[in-house]
């Protein structure tokens, strides 16, 4: 949809809103709890309905399931691209410099949340004169994932083939959450991705708060986690951040209100129009990210902006993998009396890790962060 002019986008948003109203009426008419119609659901974001409307305009009815002959296909019948965004049954794919809206092959729909993510390298096959379908996904070199909010037993891949996870927190308003940083560090290391911490809104913090932030973030330096203190409002610290990101593919993650989208627009001013178009089209004054979307930067880098998170679940992480993300905690494990000590408070005597926290050798926030995650993992395992 990035190729649409403003007038066409406004028309598309109006058509999408009409389709959404019709869907709500259909669900009410059924009067059945749990009734689900084909395509987007009534409460899905308008952007998802815009994708659906555009797909219907370009492709007619959804395709029937059928196998394509993959051997001997010509270059004119197949294309390779990168997923920019995805909705139920459709995806925006960058092929060269062209953004294409394509249908997703029916055989992939049931596991779409796991199989298809922003950043995936995919192969498209022609289905008609002006109609393409996403048929195959290349193996991933890295991923950032979490349990699916609708089905915790399934993996939801947030971004694929990324070089760096950039967790954005606020110096103040909302308060910085070290627990979110810790969880994303675990998820990033499990997915083979480096982590960067960006503290935004430092222009709103006084000297005492900045000193407090320095103390909280100091342990991450030893873990080779880059920390940048910036202000999207004043531009402070952005030059160093832009240089550190280079030409990498990065994914922005953070709670609502920390200024992810403002930071993105400040890093690349040309994106302000792209991220603001949908809000303008639907009459909303403030942009809120409702789906993961990949944006290209002028310096060759690429950034995936994601919706704000209140919590970040971990996908199939064991205590061994947790220890890998907390090497400063695990370093004191040899001092524990028992080899199977879990460093929690439930009757574990002579725990060297807890003692290191008490006597100041291990920063207490790191110990408490480890314990919070360990307890949640053990609770999930039953």
Q: What's the mean per-residue pLDDT of the chain?
A: 82
Neighbour count for residue 99 (Cβ, 10 Å): 16
Q: What percentage of the chain reaches a pLDDT higher than 90?
A: 51
Fold of 319-381: Ribonucleotide Reductase Protein R1; domain 1 (1.10.40)
For residue 185, what pLDDT is reported? 96
Alpha helices (runs of H) in 336-363, residue ranges in sequence order: 352-358
**What is the pLDDT at residue 48?**
62
Superfamily of segment(s) 155-305: P-loop containing nucleotide triphosphate hydrolases (3.40.50.300)
Q: Is the peptide bond before 78 cis (omega within 30 degrees of 0)?
A: no
Ranges in the chain annotated CATH 2.40.50.140: 6-22+38-61+74-137
Looking at residue 273, what is its pLDDT? 43
3-class SS at 379? helix
Q: Where in the chain is the domain with CATH 1.10.40.50?
A: 319-381
Predicted model pTM: 0.78
pLDDT tens digits for range 186-211: 999 999 999 999 999 999 999 999 99
pLDDT digits (tens, 9 = 90+) for 68-125: 334 445 556 899 999 999 988 899 999 998 999 999 998 898 888 889 999 999 999 9
The partner residues of 294 in beta bridges, in order of sequence, read 304
Burial of residue 244 (number of CB atoms within 10 Å: 0-12, 13-18, 19+) = middle
- Give the domain 6-22+38-61+74-137 fold: OB fold (Dihydrolipoamide Acetyltransferase, E2P) (2.40.50)
For a pLDDT cut of 70, what percent of the chain falls above it? Answer: 76
Instruction: Summarize pLDDT for 37-47 with one digit per residue, the tens.
Output: 555 666 666 65
Distance CA 170, CA 176 (A): 5
Q: Pick the residue with more confidence: 277 or 18?
A: 18
Instruction: Say what the pLDDT of residue 131 is.
Output: 84
pLDDT bin (cut points 50, 70, 90) of residue 169 is very high
CATH 3.40.50.300 range(s) for the chain read 155-305
Lowest mean pLDDT among 22-36, 51-65, 84-98, 176-190: 51-65
Which residue has better confidence, 253 or 2? Answer: 253
């Amino acid at each position: 949809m990035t190729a649409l002019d403003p007038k066409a986008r406004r028309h598309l948003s109006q058509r999408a809103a009409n389709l959404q109203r019709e869907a709500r009426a259909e669900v009410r008419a059924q009067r059945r709890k749990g009734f689900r119609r084909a395509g987007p659901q009534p409460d899905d974001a308008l952007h998802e309905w815009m994708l659906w409307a555009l797909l219907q305009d370009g492709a007619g009815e959804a395709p029937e399931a059928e196998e394509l002959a993959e051997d001997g296909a010509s270059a004119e019948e197949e294309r390779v691209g990168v997923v920019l965004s995805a909705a139920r049954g459709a995806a925006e794919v960058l092929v060269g410099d062209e953004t294409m809206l394509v249908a997703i092959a029916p055989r992939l729909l049931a596991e779409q949340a796991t199989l298809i993510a922003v950043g995936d390298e995919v192969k498209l096959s022609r289905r008609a004169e002006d109609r393409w379908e996403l048929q195959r996904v290349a193996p991933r070199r890295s991923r950032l994932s979490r349990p699916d909010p609708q089905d915790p037993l399934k993996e939801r891949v947030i971004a694929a083939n990324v070089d760096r996870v950039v967790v954005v927190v606020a110096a103040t308003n909302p308060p910085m959450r070290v627990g979110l940083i810790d969880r994303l560090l675990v998820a990033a290391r499990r997915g083979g991705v480096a982590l960067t911490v960006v503290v935004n809104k430092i222009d709103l913090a006084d000297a005492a708060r900045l000193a407090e932030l320095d103390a909280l973030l100091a342990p991450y330096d030893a873990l080779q986690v880059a920390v940048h203190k910036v202000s999207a409002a004043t531009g402070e610290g952005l030059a160093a951040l832009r240089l550190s990101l280079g030409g990498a593919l990065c994914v922005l993650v953070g709670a609502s209100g920390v200024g992810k989208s403002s930071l993105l627009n400040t890093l690349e001013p040309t994106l302000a129009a792209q991220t603001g178009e949908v809000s303008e089209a639907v009459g909303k004054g403030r942009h809120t990210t409702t789906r993961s979307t990949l944006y290209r930067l002028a310096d060759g880098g690429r950034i995936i902006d994601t919706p704000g998170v209140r919590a970040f679940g971990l996908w199939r992480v064991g205590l061994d993998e947790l220890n890998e993300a907390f090497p400063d905690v695990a370093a004191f494990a040899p001092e524990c009396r028992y080899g199977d000590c879990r460093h929690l408070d439930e009757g574990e005597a002579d725990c060297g890790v807890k003692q290191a926290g008490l006597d100041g050798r291990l920063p207490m926030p790191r110990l408490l962060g480890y314990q919070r995650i360990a307890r949640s993992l053990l609770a999930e395992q039953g």
